[in-house]
């Protein structure tokens, strides 16, 4: 994405991820709300991206933004995986408030289904080779088998742990002896870990 500022790349990533999740583009107001800027600021970003031939839109009509860039989510063989921020209880997983950009991956690495990405925080899974700062690529599903590493929602917090179903509860086990397991009867599985992306230049 040569010629784009950091913020313009973030806006373009958000639009691509929004379209993938909703099957229609965001409004300027939704873009502005996501980045906590004014509608005029959102409009200016759209016009800048349009001028640089990354977008096309009809400004006097709602939801008419079209992504044009050959490096965007619709490049043949490339899939834009939405990168999600904080996923709050009661909010749909792919709500626009959760989007924090996207990760482009070759489709050949992905199976069927819907995927999302999360940045790993903390050291609770280091013995499974999952480190702080890794990007977890997760297949969206609401079930898991014992031993699967899952993204789960527990007490309004998202956690990455190994799943075990017990008689009357679920155990979410850390892969670090310093972290005790989580035992709960109130858990929602958001997805199963499929692979990791690691940046060694961080």
Which of helix, strand or coil describes residue 148?
coil
| Cross-strand bridge partners of residue 84 | 99, 118
Q: Tell me whether residue 6 is one of the annotated catalytic residues.
A: no
Could you say which of 7, 16, 119, 161 is catalytic? 161
Q: Return left, alpha or beta for 129; rule: phi > 0 is left, psi -120 to 50 is alpha, else beta.
A: left
Q: Tell me whether residue 71 is one of the annotated catalytic residues.
A: no
Could you say which of 16, 102, 124, 192 is catalytic? 124
- How do 55-56 and 188-197 pair as beta strands? unpaired
Yes or no: say if 101 and 35 are a contact pair by the CB < 8 Å rule. no
CA distances from 197 to 75, 120, 131, 142, 164 (A): 20, 10, 10, 23, 25
The residues annotated with a catalytic role in the active site are 124, 161
């Amino acid at each position: 994405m040569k010629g784009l500022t950091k913020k313009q790349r973030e806006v373009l990533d958000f639009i691509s991820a929004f379209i993938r999740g909703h099957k229609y583009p965001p409004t300027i107001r939704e873009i502005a709300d996501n980045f906590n800027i004014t509608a005029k600021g959102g409009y200016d970003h759209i016009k800048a991206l349009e001028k640089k031939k990354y977008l096309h839109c009809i400004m006097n009509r709602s939801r008419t933004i079209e992504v044009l860039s050959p490096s965007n989510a619709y490049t043949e063989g490339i899939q834009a995986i939405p990168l999600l921020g904080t996923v709050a209880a009661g909010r749909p997983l792919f709500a626009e408030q959760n989007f924090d950009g996207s990760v482009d991956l070759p489709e050949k690495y992905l199976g069927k289904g819907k995927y999302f990405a999360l940045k790993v925080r903390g050291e609770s899974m280091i013995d499974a080779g999952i480190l702080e700062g890794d990007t977890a690529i997760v297949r969206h599903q609401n079930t898991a088998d014992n031993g699967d590493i899952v993204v789960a929602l527990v007490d309004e917090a998202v956690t990455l742990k190994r799943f075990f179903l017990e008689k009357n509860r679920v155990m979410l086990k850390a892969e670090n002896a310093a972290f005790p397991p989580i035992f709960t009867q109130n858990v929602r599985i958001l997805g199963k870990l499929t692979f990791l992306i690691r940046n060694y230049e961080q």
